[in-house]
Chains A and B, each alone.
Chain A
């Protein structure tokens, strides 16, 4: 750069020292006329002053387009300062005066040939900014020359000009072959030129998603990495952003790119740092976690992020929004940096709130004491919003870190003692959440809470308090009085409070029926007769009907055990998080929305995805791995192509998961079912019913309406189990044994999705038969399935066919054909299969065990001679013997039963009243298992001896024997 820079120094022309501000003085009549005269003056100085005045008027928004011809006349000058001013004017008005703009073309073309590179670049830059179609034709030849100019300053300007031209006329750019020239510039010797070429190509590529314009391969990547060290900070940003779109072939390439990008982390420009962080966060996904380098990289990421927090508040805020994402994805990076997120008293409030959020995300058993001490300080600050959020944060800590719950509760009690109104109210709201997380643990504080009843004036706090009173009505002596006092102003309360009050009084009634009958009737009539709110009315009717029909059922519904609230309800939904991680440092990361949500048109709508991890025996971190481990004791191992699965997920636009802070789910599910029923009839009977008091619970609530589902409160799973048994029975006739369905994934662990299933071999095809049950409140769609690698290479032979959405409480049967050509890895136990199922809500993991008889192939009958030879050939060490007890089949019956499962009897011998059956079986992977089954007449105990070259399978095969024979 320096070469031309120095050369240009001599071209400098020093202008006048007159003050520019006088041009802003007000317009007088005939000003345009005056300017016209000045523009046509002979004196250069005067001309220049005139053009300045014109531009000043332009800036403040005056229309000076009438002067177009006169200004263009000034264009042919060798005074660079004047030329620049004229060009500035041209860029602004050419669009409105396209015909006159043509007048300027000749000068542009001439300037592109000027010996001074500064003028050549200026001409090509300005021409590109004149967005007039007619001009573009004349632009092509000069542009072609400039792209190959000897001066890098001209080349880099020309590179940008290609992007400008592409925006005006994309076809022209392609026809003229400018894109290829631009690609060649990636290999230019000057880093500025490379950076601009990369920027221009990236932008053009975005409007042609499939063009493969930026053909990123290891060679180009290497060139980019070399240019990265030499170009300006802004050029580095272009190059890093471009690198982030590349997917390395393997973990080694990924590591070598990371190594070369890491030095950027200590750059003073925060934009460079964030772009580097983006590249590293993305490529890290591919690194195996046991690699030393992975740990080193994690350590290197923390300091630059911390450094960002010493910037001015604006930048801090943007940085915090990004850190919030990074912390959710990889909390380990900043887990030791808790202190930097402590709030400073002079931070602006928006910075404070973001810091608070990150503090809670980083809170763990190790630092909770420190965090709590801080939060307690914040709760006495001046700013009301911040104080509220701090009090909430204490509650969130209690829910997140179980060990701290007790301290959190006592801290909250201390705060309640301050009697500061909004502090008390917030504290009560979070204590309610703590009760829902740790029921029956901290009820001793209720008395203190009740003391503050009168000071509660916010709906949320009132509702929370009412919930507490209702939930623990049996422990609060004057619960009825308390609730009655709320009831007095029922109609002035907000809906939230009304609904909560209704539920609380019904709970109270169910707990203390004798004293509170009047109260419950009062609230039911208030809700159903005097309210215009349909939600309230419907809930009122449901309770009414429940109570009048079957008080016992009502008790079980209303007082049902509530699910515990989840640890963190405010996490960004994982697939969205993945996408946002790909957009670190951009607006998306500040808004926490995918770019498609706020960028118009085709640009940027492609969803970016994180690369899958290398299949090297480490598990992709996922909040749900725990559930997989819960199902089987096998350690969760790799799910190799999870990247693809996540990729699928990333193509979906998902709503964030619902939080569970509303009314307890059983109540509302009861409401839905009841509501449907109500519409079907029974409403009239209810309304017409006699409300006269009767001592017996429920008896006085009018005529019992018809149509109440009998097994309303029966455990749904029980019914489903029956269903599964049926399914299993249906599977029998085909001969092969198939175990009954069992629950693989309980709804508790999968956000309401329950999966039960079994395996069957039908017509030589292994099938996975599943029942998917939606026990959540929302419709489930977009099912997909993936297996981890397993001992026999089982893999889905096709996609999971769930064609219709599964609505709440609906079950659907699916059969997934499997093949055995997938990747193989020995599992423990051998027949363990780890499965990932995703739907529109999340990805879930479970493991199940398939009966190995699934894998017995139809041509498993061995020739007698071969059998004998093989039997002898297999060493005796490989023989294992098992007992099957309590089996009352004859040897023939056993033989035919086993044959149904592809265990073939080759020979039968009877010695001393004992039948010896010689059997063979072949597994899908070609392993032969030879067996000798001894059946003694009258003895229910069979003996099986198994011989196999792979003795590991013996145990599983035996289990299959047992299962087949006993069913």
Chain B
């Protein structure tokens, strides 16, 4: 049971405070902020207690979303709830920020009233909630088609030349109806990759976690059908189709997804609620359909002048038409490293010595598939011993692979019924992120 819910700005200002059960006073807010700011990095921040009050919080949109409880409640329930609450507020207000929460406090109070009663969570479905919510959202930023500040672009499902700005998906759901906003639907296939490559070049671990997210701005869509690859198969034994199977280990679906056509045709049927939902989540472990996207060939030695030499060759094994962006390699180096001199193979790359985190960070803004880059780093390390060579590595890579899924999951089609009157846009975007990509040296 939730006792109180409050939302704080990152500076500790009270934005929203709601007491559901009258069990403790509003001084809890201050206590929480004191506690959360006093935490050190290695303390688990999730659950904190003060006397017999327990705080559970998440951070979203730069805000603290906090719930308190006095009983032995489930932190899972509360964390899930706070995340849903943040998602709802985002759906209703368009974006999450201190400003948007402040501007819409009446709306958020109204939401909270419907979402939780006496600490019991009632519903977080925007479909149900739309029947109760009276207050109109206030958008913090006028929606502009020309706002192209963000990088990721939605590629239209059918015509690759058409793109929509990524800010298109950040507007309140309600406005679509009242303000005559466009009927649009956005589908994201997002995968996160964790890979460990051993010092001998062996692939030691490769996991992919993926999800399909739908953000819907359609006022009256009764059914939507998402067709996945026909050859999509689940589990180790099952194989479908004639070509190479697109295989995952585990799949879970949102409650509203109907699966009667899934087994035969790999079609997800759902009636999307307005706002954003994760329709499907899946995982694949230890069996990537293609080679891992990056390989590293390091040479680490000590030169005659007692300096540490690191010669790194990084190869991108993506198909030549694809490219990785925002690649950053973090190379841990021995303690006490003083200065760095570098030779990089192209001018758009950069490298930097970060003494606090004991690492060299090598940044590559764009890395085309099938190419190889190299870098030579010379480090001044006083008292360099052979043992300190052991402190080099493992290298961590972070990157984004747009228009690509590591598992090969694709969306074949997106059909809406009844056929939408007037213009409606359907957008699909694929992206693979690195979650933890480690190459040992």
Contacts and interface: CB of A to CB of B under 8 A. Distances in A.
Interface of A: 1, 4-6, 8-9, 12-21, 23-24, 52, 55-56, 59-61, 80-81, 84-85, 88, 92, 95, 118, 125, 128-129, 131, 156-157, 160-161, 163-164, 167, 192, 196, 199-200, 203, 232-234, 237-238, 241, 266-271, 273-275, 303, 306-307, 310, 312, 314-315, 317-319, 339-340, 342, 344-350, 353, 377, 380-382, 385, 417-420, 583, 585-588, 590-591, 595, 598-600, 603-604
Q: Which 4 A-B pairs have the closest CB atoms?
A: A344-B436, A350-B44, A271-B77, A271-B76
A355 B152 CA distance: 34
A319 B124 CA distance: 22
Given A5-B131, A232-B125, A588-B72, A14 B80 contact: no
B286 A14 contact: no
A339 B205 contact: yes
A230 B436 CA distance: 38
A319 B79 CA distance: 11
Nearest to A238: B120
B406 to A, nearest CB: 14
Contacts of A417: 387
A18 B138 contact: yes
B378 to A, nearest CB: 21
Contacts of A81: 110, 134-135
B250 A586 contact: no
B105 interface: yes
Interface of B: 1, 13-17, 19-22, 26, 41-47, 49, 52, 54, 58, 69-77, 79-81, 83, 99, 102-107, 109-110, 113, 117-118, 120-125, 128, 130-132, 134-136, 138, 178, 192, 194, 196, 205, 207, 209, 249-255, 278, 281, 283, 285-286, 332, 357-359, 385, 387, 390-391, 393-394, 396, 435-436, 438, 440
A13 B46 contact: no
Nearest to B98: A21
B250 A306 contact: yes
A15 B105 contact: no
Contacts of B19: 92
B255 A233 contact: yes
B283 A6 contact: no
A20 B103 contact: yes
A377 B440 contact: yes
Contacts of B14: 59-61
A598 B75 contact: no
Contacts of B22: 95, 131
B49 A598 contact: yes
A599 B71 contact: yes
B123 A234 contact: yes
Given A590-B47, A600-B52, A307 B77 contact: no
10 contacts: A15-B136, A55-B109, A80-B134, A81-B135, A85-B106, A303-B250, A350-B45, A585-B74, A588-B72, A600-B52
Contact of B102 (A24, A163, A232): A24
B436 A318 contact: no
Nearest to A383: B42
Nearest to B133: A12
B72 A317 contact: no
B136 A583 contact: no
A555 to B, nearest CB: 42
Nearest to A347: B436
A641 to B, nearest CB: 29
B102 A6 contact: no
Contact of A339 (B286, B385, B396): B286
B79 A314 contact: yes
Nearest to B122: A234
B438 A344 contact: yes
Given A56-B105, A307-B250, A346-B396, A314 B73 contact: no
B439 to A, nearest CB: 10
B252 A125 contact: no
Contacts of A21: 99, 102-103
A200 B1 CA distance: 11
A739 B252 CA distance: 65
B122 A586 contact: no
B134 A15 contact: yes
Contacts of B113: 84, 88, 125
B117 A317 contact: no
B255 A310 contact: no
Given A268-B255, A303-B250, A418 B387 contact: yes
B76 A598 contact: no
A381 B391 CA distance: 8
Nearest to B45: A314
A10 B41 CA distance: 51
Given A233-B255, A314-B79, A585-B76, A61 B121 contact: no
Nearest to A386: B42
B131 A6 contact: yes
A342 B196 contact: yes
Nearest to B179: A17
A419 to B, nearest CB: 5
Nearest to B136: A15
Give the most central of B13, B44, B52, B102: most A CB within 10 Å. B44
B76 A318 contact: yes
B255 A203 contact: no
Contact of A8 (B45, B131, B136): B131
